[in-house]
Chain A
Amino acid sequence: MSTVSTVTPRTRRGTELVLLIFAIAIVLVAYANVGIAIKNRLPADIVPMGVGFTVLVLAFHLVLRWRAPYADPVLLPIATLLNGLGLVMIHRLDLANGDTLGQGAAVRQLMWSALSIVVAAVLLIVIKDHRRLRRYTFTFALGGLVLLLLPLLPFIGRSVLGSRIWIGIGGFSFQPSEISKILVVIFFASYLVQTRDALSLVGRRILGFPLPRARDMGPIMIAWLASLAVLVFESDLGTSLLFFGIFVAMLYVATERRSWIAIGLILFLAGSYIAYLLFAHFQERVTLWINPFHPGMSDQIALGLMGMANGGLFGTGLGQGHPELTYFANSDFIIPSFGEELGLVGLTAIILLYVLLVERGLRAGLAARDGFGKLLATGLGFSIALQVFVVIGGVTRVIPLTGLTTPFMSAGGSSLLANWVIIALLLRVSDQARQPTIEQSGPTLGTDDTQVVKTR
C-alpha cells in the first residue's frame, strides 16, 4: 500500500475542528428545539450544558493534535454528533415521562458520556502504538471470556427481561459483554495474524471448494461454542450473533478464504435453528418478526412501527411526537424514536452517519501498514456495522428483534464507554496508517511481521 513519497500528508486536524463545531451546533440546536417544543422556552441550562459539552470534545480534539495528529478527522465529529443526539432524545423522553433533568436517565447518560470521552482520551495518550496491544494477546482473551461469562456468576449476575447479561454491584449495573467485545476483537486480530498462513494455505479441495484441515477448525468451533453458551446460558441472541459474526468476518479477512464464510453461515443457521427449537421467547420473536401485530403477544415492535409511520417523511419534529408510547424508547427503540420525530429524512441521515463511521473504520484497516492493525480496525469497524444492523434491523423488521444497544445513542453506560474505546482504537490505527513513513523507522522496525505480498 505505502508508496514512498516525499510529500508530508496533511494532518486534517483543521477539518476535524470544523466538523466538530458543526456537530456541537446541531446537538445544541436539537437541545434548544426540545425545550421550546415541550416547555415553550429555551432550556435554562443550555449555556452550561453547551459549554461543558464543547469543552469536553474540544479537549479530546486537542489530545488528538498532541498524540495522534494524523488520525482520521471524521471519526470524532460523528461520534460526538451521535452521542449528543442520543443525549437529546433521552432527555426529551425524560421530559415526556415527567422526569426533570435531575431525576431522569439523561443526567446519568451525560456523566457516562463525559467519563467515556475521558477514558478514550487517556487511552490515546497511553497507547502510543496499537501494536503494543499484541503483547497481551492471551490476557485479553482471558479477560474477554471472563467478562462475557461474568453475568452467570451468582450474587453479581442480574437477569433483565430474561437476558442474563448484566452484573450489578451495589446500585451500579454494567453490561460486561460490551467491553468483552473489544477485548475479544483485539485477541482475534492478534491470534489470526499469527495463524493466518496455516489457516489459509493448508487444506484440501472438496468438490472444488477449498476446505481447511480438521484441526484448523478448532478456533472457529470454540468461537461457535462460546457463542452458543452465551445464547443458552445468558439467553442473549444479540450478543451471541454479534460475537460469532465478528469472528467469522475477521477469519475471512485474515485468510481470504470464502469457505470460512460458508462454514460460519452454516454453523450460524444451525445454531439459530437449535435456538428456535429450544426457546419459546425466540419463537415469539420470529412470530412477531413475521407479523408484528400478532394478537396476544408483545406490541413493542408494532408500537415502534406506528411511531415511525407517524413520523413519515419529515417527522413530527423533536418534542412533538409521542415516542414515549413505545417501551424502551430511550434504549433498544431509540431508532424508532428518532424515526418518529426526525422522519425518514432524519433517520436516513443517522444511518448514513453510521455508514460513514464504519467506512472510516474499514478505511483505517485498508490503510494500516501492519496485519494486526488491519484486522483490528476491520474487526472494530465491522462490529459497529453488525451491531447497528442487528438493532436497527430488529426494529425495522429486516431480521427478528434481538436486544442490542444502538452504538452511541442508546441509554446505557457500558455501551457508551465501549463505543468510545472503539473510537479511540480506530483513531490510533488510522493515525499510524496515515503518518509519514519516516516516523516509522524507529525501534519498532524489525519487530513487524514479515509482509505477505498479495497480488490481488
Chain B
Amino acid sequence: MNSPIRRLGAVVALMFCALLVAATIIQFVQANSLDNRPGNRRTLLASYSKQRGSILVGGNAVAISKPTSDDLKWRRTYPNGKLYADVTGYYSFTYGASAIEQAEGGLLSGSSDRLFYRRLVDVITGKPPQGASVELTLNAKVQQAAAEALGNQRGAVVALDPKTGAILAMVTSPTYDPNPLASHNLTSVSKSWTQLNNAPNNPLINRAINGNLYPPGSTFKLVTSAAALASGKYTPNTTVPGPARLKLPQTTVSLPTDDGQPCGPNDKTTLIHALAVSCNTAYASVGMNLGAAAVRNQAQKFGWGQDLKIPLAVTPSVFPANPNLPELAQSAIGQFDVRATPLQIAMVSAAIANNGKLMTPYLVQTVRDKNLDVIQSTDPKLMSTAVQPGVAQQLTTMMEAVVNSGTGSNARVPGMKVAGKTGTAQVGGNQIADDWFTGFAPADNPQVAVAVVVENGGNMKQGSSGNTVAAPIARKVMQAVTSK
C-alpha cells in the first residue's frame, strides 16, 4: 500500500501548493489593487488613524486634517469651502476620495512607498506617523479672480503658465462644498452625497478636465490655422475664399458665416483677417484643402487624443476618425464631432505662447514630508513641439489681431498686448450656444494662457457670444496674473 500513499502525498503537496500560490496572488500580486478598491474600510481606517498631510496653495492649507475626539481621530476640513473643491476633491469615510485627495492619496496618507524610509525612521524614533503635504501650482489670487468672474454661470476656467505648464487656476461651476462629505456623522454624509448626486448639472463633475467634453467651436480655428501655416502652403496674408455661404461638396447644404455676410470684398479675404472675424467659410475651405490627416495631426500635436494625468485623469479630447469632406469642413471650425476639454483649449494657447512648445500641464508643485523636506518636485516637461517657432510667431500676430481689430475686443487690457480667439459653439438641438474664449498675455512675453467656456450663453442667454460672455472672464484672469 505504500506506493499509493506516496502518490496521495504528491496530491496533498499539489493541494497545498495551490493554497500557497493563491495566498501569494492575494497578498502580493493583487494586494495593491485590493487595498485601493473603493469602499475598502481597512485602507480608510488606516488612513484615518494618522494625520493626513495638508494640501497647500501658496503656503496656505486648502485641505487640512484636524484632531477630533471620536474614534476616527482626524477630520478633514476645507477652509475655503467651494473655491478649491474640484482640485482638492473630497475625502469621505463612506465614499472614498476624489481628485488630489485620491490621486496623491498614498503620499497624503503617508502609505506611499516613496515614504518608506521616513516611515522606518518614525517607527524607530517612536514618533507618530504623519502624511506628506502637497503644494499645488494654483495661484490663490488667480483662482479667486476666475471663480468670481465665472460666478454662478455653468462652465469652466483654466489658466496655465505657458512656459512651464503649471496650472494657475482651475475653476468649474456649479461646484460643491467638500466639508459635509468629510464629516464623521455618516448619516449626514450620506444625505449630502445623495443631494449632490441628484443635484441638477452634476456639481461633482470637474468640467475643466472631465464632463461631457465640449465642441470647441471657433477656438479650434487656431488648430486649423496652425496646420495651414505649418503646411507651408499658407502665410497669414494668403488670400482665402470667404463667401457668405460655402457650398459643401457631396451634399446640398451650404455653410454660412456667422453674420451671413461675406468676409471680404469679392468673397475673398486673407487668413489673418479670416481669424480676426472668425470666418467660417474661409476655415471650412482651408480645412478641406489641407485634408483630414493634416488637421488631425496638428490637433494631436496640441494634445488631442492623449491620456493625461495632472495627476487628475483628464478625459482625452476627440477629433473625428474618418470625416468625409463636408464633415471635415465642419470639423475645421470646431463643430461636427470635434470635442475638447477647457484644459485642452488652454493648452493650444499655451503652446502658441511658448514658441510652439507645449509643456505638460501639472497641478502638484512639491510634496514635502512633515519635516518640510522635499520628497518630490515637478520639473516642467516638454509634452510636444506643437508648431515651429516661426509659425507660433505668425499665430500670435493673428491672435493679437482678433483682440485688437476682430471678435475679441472685450479681452483688451490697457497697456498690455493680448492674443486671443473667441468661440461660439453650436451644441445641437434648440440649446443656446456655448461661449468660448482662449488666449494669452502679455502677447510679447506670455505669463498666462487661459481658456474659458460658459455653457449655453451663461447669464446673457440668447444673443451671447464668446466676446460678450467669455472674453471678460478671461480678461480678469489675465489681469490677475499680470497685475495690469
Contact = CB atoms under 8 A, between A and B. Distances in A.
A386 B11 CA distance: 10
B10 to A, nearest CB: 10
A427 interface: no
A305 B8 contact: no
A306 B19 contact: no
A24 interface: no
Contacts of B6: 366
Interface in A294-344: 305-313, 321-322, 325, 339-340, 343-344
A392 B17 CA distance: 12
Contacts of A21: none
13 contacts: A293-B37, A310-B43, A310-B46, A325-B42, A339-B27, A340-B42, A344-B24, A362-B9, A365-B5, A393-B15, A393-B22, A454-B2, A454-B3
Interface stretch (B28-36, B53-61, B291-299, B309-317): B28-36
A389 interface: yes
A340 B147 CA distance: 46
B161 to A, nearest CB: 40
A351 B16 CA distance: 7
Given A310-B35, A374-B1, A397 B27 contact: no
Given A347-B23, A348-B23, A351-B16, A359 B3 contact: no
Interface residues on B, range: 20 to 34
B199 interface: no
A312 B9 CA distance: 30
A262 to B, nearest CB: 14
A318 to B, nearest CB: 16
Interface residues of A, number: 49
A306 B35 contact: yes
B42 A253 contact: no
A220 interface: no
Q: Is chain A's interface secondary structure helix, strand, loop, or mixed overall? A: helix
B374 interface: no
A176 to B, nearest CB: 26
A377 to B, nearest CB: 9
A378 interface: yes
B416 interface: no
Contacts of A359: 9, 12
Interface in A241-265: 249, 252-254, 256
Contact of A310 (B2, B3, B19, B42): B42
Given A354-B16, A385-B16, A309 B27 contact: yes
Given A309-B31, A389-B15, A389-B19, A362 B5 contact: yes
Contacts of B27: 308-309, 311-313, 339, 343-344, 347
A228 B24 CA distance: 34
A456 interface: yes
A393 B26 contact: no
Given A306-B37, A393-B18, A362 B26 contact: no
B45 interface: yes
B20 interface: yes
A456 B5 CA distance: 12
A358 interface: yes
9 tightest A-B CB contacts, nearest first: A309-B34, A396-B22, A344-B27, A309-B31, A310-B42, A253-B4, A389-B15, A385-B12, A398-B22
B40 interface: yes
A354 B8 CA distance: 15
Contacts of B41: 322, 325
A398 B4 contact: no
Contact of B42 (A307, A355, A358, A389): A307
